[in-house]
Structure 1
Amino acid sequence: MSSYAAVLRTPHALSTFAAALLGRLSYGMVSLSLVLSVKDATGSFTVAGTTLALFGATGVVLSPVRASLVDRYGPRRGLVPMAALYTALLTVLALVTKEGGGPGGAGAFGTSGTSGALVGVLAACAGACAPPLGPTMRTLWGQLLPDRGMLRRAYSLDGVAEELLLVAGPLLVGVLVAYLEPAAGVAASAALVLVGTVALALSPVPFPVRASERRRAGERGRAPREPVPRTRPRGPGQPVVAAAGVGLCLGGLELLVVAFTDDRHRPAAVAWVLAALSAGSAVGGLANGAVSWRSAARPRLAVICAALGVALAGAGLAPNVYALGAAAALVGLFVAPALITAYLIADEAAAPGARTRAGAWVNTAVNAGSSGGTAFVGLLVGRVPPALCFVLVAVPALLCAAVTLYGIRGVATVQEPAERPEGDGAGQPS
């Protein structure tokens, strides 16, 4: 824990991280808030589900584009306009669904196609403008902590905090809905993201500058601070593939847990089995940051993905929901370390002016993989024996391990130095 305290004691780290978490709490609240408010306004779960799907789709697909804008213009000129537009659209959604609510869920919308189209367009536009706070914060961590060992701890802390936000967000929505209308959750999400983004953009931490910007600034006689030299062994393709594989596994596992508990007439057990998965991921993430690894990041990612796949395949042998919960916790131990390591490799491989976009690609791969995994398992459940379903869901992680190892062996001319143990001075790229 002292190493994590050292991360937060770094000048400007705590205030910058707190601002990012405040804005990211909005993302933990907004999905449930949208579903509840749109359902309340339209009286239709179909409209609510479609609205959330459109919001998520534009948010995921356009994430690298938004991150590129932050890389190009910096947080103040890139993030703040996005947050302002995103906040405005969410506020309109909150007002519209509040006006449309009422007894029976009809109101101004009813259940007509026009109401669904209006809400869907607003949600899709809002998702397209969502500021990439997570990738931006990871870029700022790289500026705050040039030591690779400390940076890995910061990423671990960041990942665990994000897990907790995803748990805390729906709980806060539940509290709001108990006393106010569901649209209040959407409005609260809008306020959180605006305040958090502005606070993050005002952070004094210098943002990486593109080479073209450095040249232009140099021509004007005031070259900005040079970024810390970074090792660039290869592009971010391997961590993106690994993140997609982890996402496929997670999306498939969640649906398999639902099918498993339903088959044993214990549907309420879904919540605590998935909670065990999250708890295992949090423990794994903290442990990953606490250990001083001597191995390089890419082979470590291959080992973690292989372990994730083996644990997931073994979960299919669980005889009851209690054993499945324990197996889910074991699987979770490898989830956060895999994603943290993928983010580190992507950050290391990216040019200084493209690090936010590199992190956004990893994030996009996880989310897209999760959706694909859920769809894939939906085709398997009821047609394939449950144990075999778990094995098939584990295949992406095992393939990612093989692809990562093949990529390492395929580029023999590039060597990645292992991290130095703590106390050895400046860390090396992991």
Structure 2
Amino acid sequence: MSSYRELARTPGVARIIAAQLTARFPSGMISLGLLIHVEHLTHSYAAAGVVLAAVSIGQAVAGPVTSRWMGRWGMRRVLTILTAIYAAAIATIAVAPLPVPALVALGLVAGLATPPVQSAVRTIYPKLVNARQLTALYSLDASLQEMIWVLAPVLITFLALQVSTVLGLLAVVVIAIGGGAWFILSPETGRVRIPPSRSALGRVLRKPTVLLATAIGLLFIGAAAAIEAGIVATFGEGGVESGLVLAVFALGSLVGGLGSGSIPMSPWSTARRLGIVAVGTALTLLWVDNPWWLGGALFVAGVGFAPALAVMLSSTSASVKFSETAEAYGWINTGQLLGAALGSMAAGFAIDGIGSIGAYVVSLTMIVGAALVAAVFHRGFPDLRHRDASPIPDTEPVQTIT
């Protein structure tokens, strides 16, 4: 824990972590908020699903593009404009009784304008701490983001169901504007300038580490989405067990992430940590109806979750030029969004076919696939046992007098 105490004493670290977590908090609220609001408005879950799909498509398409824009026009300018558009789109959905096609169009706009805070902050990190602290900082980031996925759904569900669906979405708008302003106005955001990338859009995917992290992230987050669907199917949407089991899953991830921050990362680390997730997921199949067993199994799975994500973040940072980091993280985020959609869809079909256990089978299949990809292509990950995770410096020809 000494590495985390050292991070806490580093100027700006606590502030930028708190600011980015607040700015990203709406990402844990928006899906449930839109689902409940659009269903209440149209009395159709199908319509709500189409609106959510439009948001997800917009986010997946925009991620690498808007992340890349930050190198051309600056982080503050891009984040400010996108936050304003995102907030306006969600606010319009909340207060205007619009037909479904208009809601879908606004959902697409909101998805396209989702501020790339995640890419921005992970680009700032290498400039905020020294190289020796970077791996621990990525582990801390991967661990603390679990708070978003535990607290945000609880808050939006309470507001939308107990008060008003309109108030729930307006709360998303207020947090997006407030958290976004805090992050945008933080001194660290203003001090870091991303050099414009000289390569074409998507060229960074030629880097084996970025391509692997994107593909593995798709399977990895897809497995998590399938697990969540299985838990809801097992205990029901209103079952208190669902929230408790998911909280234990997140707690395991938090414990694993904080505990692994100082462990050196080798090319095999991603496969090993995904293996822990696979073992925990396999244990769920033994007794899916028992919340105590399920919680224990998912705690084991969670222990490998944040550490695996931390390896992919650190490896990506160490494998690309600084000017490419934001776009690289944008592609990884796109892979994770696609994985969440595919995992949820596959789990839904499996649940309809063979019951809630089908979702756990889907999850196990995806996480084993992720671990196998990480193992077979382990040489695509850098060896960080004897080097730091700093990005490759951008260089350019320098004229000399001869």
TM bracket, shorter-chain basis: 0.7 to 0.9
Counterpart-to-counterpart distance in 2, 1:13 and 1:21: 12
Inter-CA distance 184–417: structure 2 relative to 1 (3 Å threshold)? closer
**Could you tell me which amino acid in structure 2 is paired with residue 336 of structure 1?**
A
| Pairs aligned (count) | 381
> Equivalences for 1:114-263 in 2 at 5 Å?
115-148=99-132, 150-177=133-160, 180-205=163-188, 206-210=191-195, 234-261=208-235
Is 1:346–1:362's contact at 8 Å kept on the other side of the alignment? no
Counterpart-to-counterpart distance in 1, 2:151 and 2:240: 19
Counterpart-to-counterpart distance in 1, 2:240 and 2:157: 18
Structure 1 unaligned regions, length at least 5: 101-108, 110-114, 214-231, 421-426
Q: CA RMSD in A?
A: 3.1
Counterpart-to-counterpart distance in 2, 1:39 and 1:395: 32
Inter-CA distance 202–260: structure 2 relative to 1 (3 Å threshold)? closer
Tell me which residue corresponds to 1:302.
271
DSSP-derived class of the 1:35 partner: helix
> Equivalences for 1:2-401 in 2 at 5 Å?
2-96=2-96, 100=97, 115-148=99-132, 150-177=133-160, 180-205=163-188, 206-210=191-195, 234-261=208-235, 268-289=240-261, 292-296=262-266, 298-318=267-287, 320-321=289-290, 322-381=292-351, 383=353, 390=360, 393-401=363-371
Counterpart-to-counterpart distance in 2, 1:196 and 1:68: 22
Inter-CA distance 144–43: structure 2 relative to 1 (3 Å threshold)? same
Tell me which residue corresponds to 1:226.
none
Inter-CA distance 389–54: structure 2 relative to 1 (3 Å threshold)? closer
Is 2:33–2:157's contact at 8 Å kept on the other side of the alignment? no
Inter-CA distance 117–385: structure 2 relative to 1 (3 Å threshold)? closer
What is the CA distance between 1:417 and its match in structure 2? 4.2
Q: Please state if 1:405 is matched with 2:375.
A: yes
What is the CA distance between 1:136 and its match in structure 2? 1.0
Inter-CA distance 138–118: structure 2 relative to 1 (3 Å threshold)? same
Inter-CA distance 65–175: structure 2 relative to 1 (3 Å threshold)? same
Counterpart-to-counterpart distance in 1, 2:57 and 2:152: 20
**Could you tell me which amino acid in structure 2 is paired with residue 255 of structure 1?**
A
The TM-score, its normalising length taken from structure 1, stands at: 0.79
Counterpart-to-counterpart distance in 2, 1:268 and 1:345: 38
Counterpart-to-counterpart distance in 1, 2:330 and 2:283: 31
Moved more, 277-286 or 248-257: 248-257
**Could you tell me which amino acid in structure 1 is paired with residue 210 of structure 2?**
P
Counterpart-to-counterpart distance in 2, 1:32 and 1:392: 22
Structure 2 unaligned regions, length at least 5: 199-205, 392-402
What is the CA distance between 1:389 and its match in structure 2? 6.7
Task: Please give the per-residue CA displacement for 1:346-392, whole angstroms capped at 9, x wherever unaligned.
Answer: 22222211211211222222221122122223333465698787455
What is the CA distance between 1:184 and its match in structure 2? 2.0
Percentage of identical aligned residues: 26
Tell me which residue corresponds to 2:201.
none
